Amino acid sequence: MPQKHWILVANASHARVFERASFTAPLVELTDWLHPESRMPARDTERTPLGHSEAGRAGLAPRSDLKHLHRSEFATTLAKYFHEAVLNHRVNALAFFVSNPLMGELLSHLDASVQHTLVAKHVLDLTSLNVTELDKRLRREFRL
């Protein structure tokens, strides 16, 4: 069975998954997610109950908790994706390049089977790189 290496490049609002069949093979983008709620100011994402104004925030979750909730939701989505991929033998090895604090959140949501396939993890945001630049950097600096 051919080896399938997947590389996750993510930050709190954007994640991309690439596959590489061998070190000499090109990167192939498999999927990507946008999660703009994670980057929005908390005031723009919170839901004020009907009949309550911003001045009447008492009893509502603090804004920092909302940011954490959005990040946790995104991490859960990613963790489920990798769980299904490992369960269905679509991937043999995973490498994560994820910014903080999403990296910690994501790692806390991974089950044992996914953690077992994790061969590299770097707290690094590479989401702004195009595929060519990313490919060069992964080969040169990380031997992936």
Task: Give the CATH number, domain containing residue 123.
Answer: 3.30.420.60
User: What confidence tier does 44 reach under pLDDT thresholds 50, 70, 90?
Assistant: low
Helix (H, G, I), strand (E, B) or coil at 73: helix
Domain with 23, as residue range(s), is 5-45+67-142
Tell me the average pLDDT across 25-32. Answer: 95
pLDDT score of 31 more than 80: yes
3-state helix, strand, coil in the chain (%, to 5): 40, 20, 35
Q: Is the pTM of this model over 0.85?
A: no
With b meaning 16 or more CB within 10 Å and e meaning fewer, what string describes 57-89? Answer: eeeeeeeeebbbbbbbebbeebbebbeebbeee
Residue 40 within any structural domain of the chain: yes
Number of domains composing the chain = 1
The model's pLDDT over 58-94, given as tens digits with 9 standing for 90+, comes to 555 555 688 889 999 999 999 999 999 999 999 999 9
Residue 97 within any structural domain of the chain: yes
Question: What residues contact 120, with CB distance under 8 A and at least 6 apart?
Answer: 94, 95, 96, 142, 144
Residue 131 within any structural domain of the chain: yes
User: What confidence tier does 43 reach under pLDDT thresholds 50, 70, 90?
Assistant: low
